Amino acid sequence: MTPEKKNAIGQDGVFNVAGQANESKQRTLLNCCDNHIKKIVKELHENGVGLRNTSADTQGLTLLKALQFRGSSGLNTYEGTAAGYARIATRVQELEADGWLIAAPRENVIGPDGLYHQAVARYILIGKSEDFQSSQQELALEVA
């Protein structure tokens, strides 16, 4: 077994590149090569959700739109960094502070540097937390 395949087996929650549970109990190894990154950045810009400047406010608003556009595919740390988001984890925390729910499953990747990176975050927008709270309250009323 090559070291990359051996290390690709996850020990905790296992997810595929779309952030969904992987039935094989093995994390998918994503190759975040230059072509993959360029494709994501081009897709974001062609669909009007690419970053236009690097101010923190613009990054937060644009990241929200990009995550909404990407759906269950989300963006991983390398994809977000290549798209221009400085400190993408910080931008995600800011969105969460504004009431957005964002999942961050981990995936193993071959980074743009050609090296193996274990447990890289993939950020997937779930929705507005108040929407989930009201749904839970409705369910509680129906059960009572």
Using CA atoms, how far apart are residues 97 and 100, in angstroms rounded to an integer?
7
Going by pLDDT thresholds of 50, 70 and 90, the confidence category of residue 143 is low
Using CA atoms, how far apart are residues 112 and 37, in angstroms rounded to an integer?
8
Is this structure's pTM higher than 0.75?
A: no
Backbone angles phi, psi at 123, to 5 degrees: -95, 125
pLDDT at residue number 130: 80
Question: What's the average model confidence in pLDDT over 15-23?
Answer: 46
Question: Taking the mean position of all CA atoms in its chain, how far away is CA 12?
Answer: 18
Residues 81 and 91: beta-carbon distance below 8 Å = no
Residues 29 and 110: beta-carbon distance below 8 Å = yes
- Over residues 106-129, the pLDDT tens digits come to 999 999 999 999 999 999 999 998
